[in-house]
Amino acid sequence: MININWKTDYHREFTCPNCGQKSLVLQGTTNYKRRFQCKNCKKYVNNSCNVKIDINTVQSKINWRTDYKVGEFACPNPNCHDRNVRLSGKDSHSGKKFFQCKTCLATAVESNGLTSANLSKYTNTKPNIKPFNFNDAQWDLRAINLLYNERTKVTIINFDLIKVDWLKLFVKKYIYQQCQRESSHDTINRKFYVLFKFSEYLFRRCVLTIEQISRDIIRDFVYNCTRSNGEIRRNLGALKDFFTTGNLHNWFKISQDIVRNEDYPKKKIKNPDPISDTVRLQIESNLKKLPEPIARMWVVAFFTAVRPEELAFLKKDCLIQDGGHWKIIWHRNKTKDKHEVPVTRIIAKVIQEQVEYIEELWGNDWPYLFCHYQGISKNDINHPKIQPVKKVISSNNNPLKRAICCLIITENIRDDNGELATFSPSLVRPTRLTQLFEQGHDLAVVSTWAGHKQLATTSLHYTKVSCELIEKEAGHIQKVLVNTDGKPLHYESMPKTFWENPRAHELSLPADHINTPIYGYCGLPLNEDCNKFRACYTCPCFVPIPEKLTLYITNRDQLRAKESRARLNGHDVLVEQYGRQADQLDKIIAILTGGDYEQGINKSSQDKNLN
């Protein structure tokens, strides 16, 4: 081993800018700059413009993190065991060293504490549930709240973290009340974390009673101790719920106005960002290269548009046959209900194959349709070391994400901008719903498929109207932006809903023994009453559809025939009614066939003279 202390014994051949002596010694780093001290004059200097360092003469050629193996230690990953372990870092608090296998990238720590979580992890057993006692400093949420699932990361609440003693009892009562309300474990942990940070702030401010908490304290905590608008909204929401609950249960009395609606920063509604068709088609065309269980994950997740958590907890008996049709039913933890989606025979076959696969692995010992996987490679699409694990799909190490990302790298899948594509399982749901919408399905159908209670949720967060769809829906309208008087219909003059959803303004009224069928678009706002019932052809808000040209000609000829019969019978009112509609249709037909407004008028006059 080299016995040189590089900080004290190694004198670089650099001149001190103060005394001119070559006696600089490395003392450490400050702001990513090396800091030297002159042993002659004791002055400090950084390696900036004053000191020029030749890195090749200063540093050793050995990179201890990448070039030096840690003895003959084997990788702890049971699917690897390669002796390629190297030092990767050190924890500044505990002093424990971290190691990484450069073959499979598995990490390990120098030693593990005998915690229930570690014992559960390495023995592949569930940690024991600690019985509930209100006076205990630590609570096991699983003993109080039944909404525990295997993806829940934190189940223990430690009230010793609350810095202020007088606040601890209130927090205990609040957390217990949240458990009784059957809030999810993640929600409870998130609210407890806010109260924990708030107690630290109160401790620093020396707040002695809850009555001393004011709006200024709340605003100072929220706006000075947080980093984003989203975090501010979450903190305000948690504190407001805590104070409201305390007042309702008479734990304390505090102003109901301590948190106001105007305190919340404006929420920016993000448009959905689904996977582009270019990327999606490349992924789907290469699915056969992935391990079959992973490929089936994609197929089921994409077709049904399930959330990643719902995919992890799909049961093996989720597929139901209803006569000659198939449907998939699953429980949704987020909305606490059951949801069903019809599936095709192909999707039903995929699910049946996955059920057979799971049955061969573990039989009745595993109730879910999918499982977790270890050994998924980052750059080998064959995944030679993949191994199924009797564990629900992890949220932070999702095998579908790792496999698709590997596929993107190996197949060089690029997006529309030529950049390497990115993927997250959370993008699958909005991608599928956007596809359903672009295929022509009504928004109400897409919303029902997603299981949303409000159409606005689907339209704002899950369906993105592409430029191609806008051109497809509005292109034929833009070709004939004139009304029945031959005047142009400018974009600004039409209702916003007309351009966003032309189908909402579409007219398709059938004929009866008196009236003529009507086809086209109505340019009136959706909330405005129409006083020209079934006289749309003579209304300046009527917008014709080029595809209906043959129907307009048929309607015009029928109206002319009715006009002639009414004239023979002496029905002057009907003659005027039929004639006006036929005249308007003549103008519409002339415009759609490449003529103009004057040509339509002349055509109408000629037809009248002939009659």
Tens of pLDDT along 264-293? 887 776 666 789 989 999 999 999 999 999
575: how many CB neighbours lie within 10 A of its CB? Answer: 19
What radius of gyration do the chain's Cα atoms show? Answer: 36
The rounded distance, in Å, linking the Cα atoms of 433 and 436 is 5
The identity of residue 505, as a single letter, is H
425, 308 in Cβ contact below 8 A? yes
**Token pair for residue 494?**
């039409």
Q: Which contiguous run of DSSP H or E holds residue 325? A: strand 325-332
Instruction: Find, among 555, 554, 564, the residue nearest to 536 by Cα.
Output: 555
3-class DSSP string for 342-384: EECHHHHHHHHHHHHHHHHHHHHHCCECCCEEECCCCCCCCCC
User: Which of helix, strand or coil describes residue 1?
Assistant: coil
Q: Is 174 helix (H, G, I), strand (E, B) or coil?
A: helix
Domain boundaries, the chain: 11-58, 117-263, 277-461, 470-610
Contact 426, 273 (CB under 8 A): no
The Cβ of residue 471 has, within 10 Å, a number of other Cβ atoms equal to 11
**CATH superfamily label, 277-461:** Intergrase catalytic core (1.10.443.10)
> Could you tell me how far CA 380 lies from the centroid of its own chain?
28
Q: Which residues contact 388 (CB under 8 A, 6 or more apart)?
A: 293, 361, 371, 372, 373
Task: Write out residues in the chain with pLDDT < 50, as ranges.
Answer: 1-4, 6, 49-61, 466-467, 469-481, 491, 596-611
Structure-block tokens of residue 391: 């564990």
